[in-house]
Amino acid sequence: MIFDSVTPLLFQFDARYVLSFLATCKELANLGKTIIVSLHSYAINESLRLRADSIVDAHLRLRIEELGKQVVRTLEVSKIRGAVKTIGNSVSFTVEPGIGLKQSRSRRRRRRARCRTSHFRFPRATGLS
């Protein structure tokens, strides 16, 4: 199941309902279901984010940056339950029409002209590589 995006719901319900929703997703994941939930970072405060992180099995963050005329996306692994956290758990890429994803290989200094962030939360990381 994919819930893209639950951001509008976060403004309508208080923290206990959001955490209850994530706990229900976790229960489904424990039954073998893969659940993907996405939300925008501006929709969740730090306290709720920390509590949600204790429930979910994986937390990925997508940053979208404009570098001149190029849009570069960076996917960062914030958490995967059972994995050792290391430095540099991210990959940068661009999306090219007709080609698809193209990994950015250079580690040049990036200007943060404009940055939008989305969080992708996976209550169960089954089948991810």
Q: Are 73 and 62 in contact (CB under 8 A)?
A: yes
pLDDT of residue 119: 43
Nearest to 87 by CA among 78, 98, 95: 78
Q: pLDDT tens-digit profile of 17-37?
A: 989 999 999 999 999 999 999
Residue 50 is assigned to a structural domain of this protein: yes
**Residues β-bridged to residue 76:** 61, 90
Q: How many CB atoms lie within 10 A of CB 66?
A: 14
Residue 9 lies in a domain: yes
Residue 127 in domain: no
Lowest mean pLDDT, pick from 38-42, 81-85, 90-94: 81-85
Range of the domain at 24: 2-122
Omega before 5 within 30 of 0, i.e. cis: yes
- 36-60 pLDDT tens trace: 999 998 888 899 989 998 899 998 9
Residue 105 lies in a domain: yes
Residue 89, in any domain of the structure: yes
pTM flag (> 0.95): no
d(CA 55, CA 21): 10
Is 63 within 8 Å of 74 (Cβ atoms)? yes
**Confidence tier at 105 by pLDDT (50, 70, 90):** low
